Structure 1
Amino acid sequence: MNGAGGVLTAVLAGPHTGTTLVAALSRGDGPPVTVPRDPAREAARRELARRMYHENDPSPVQRALNAFWDWVDRLFGAASASTPGGTLGLLVVLLFVVGVVAALWWRLGTPHRAPASSATLFDDRPKSAAEHRATAEAHAAQGHWNQAVQERMRAIVRSLEERALLDPRPGRTADEAGAEAGRTLPSHADRLVAAARDFDDVTYGGRPGDPRAYQRLTDLDRDLERTRPVLAGSAHGSRRGAAS
Structure 2
Amino acid sequence: MRGYDDLVGRVFTIVSPPLLLLLLLAATALTAALWYWYPAWIPRRRPRLPRLPRLTLPRWRRRKPKRATSAPARPAAPGTPGATAAPAPGGTLADRLAAEGRYAEAIRERLRDTVADLTRAGLIDPDPGTTAAELTTAAGTGHPAVGPALTGATDLFSDIWYGHRPAGPPEDDRMRHLTTEVRDRLGGGR
Q: Which has the larger helix fraction? A: 1
TM range (shorter): 0.3 to 0.5
**Larger RCO, structure (CA 8 Å, separation 6 or more):** 2
User: Under a length normalisation based on structure 2, what TM-score does the superposition of the two structures give?
Assistant: 0.46
User: Under a length normalisation based on structure 1, what TM-score does the superposition of the two structures give?
Assistant: 0.37
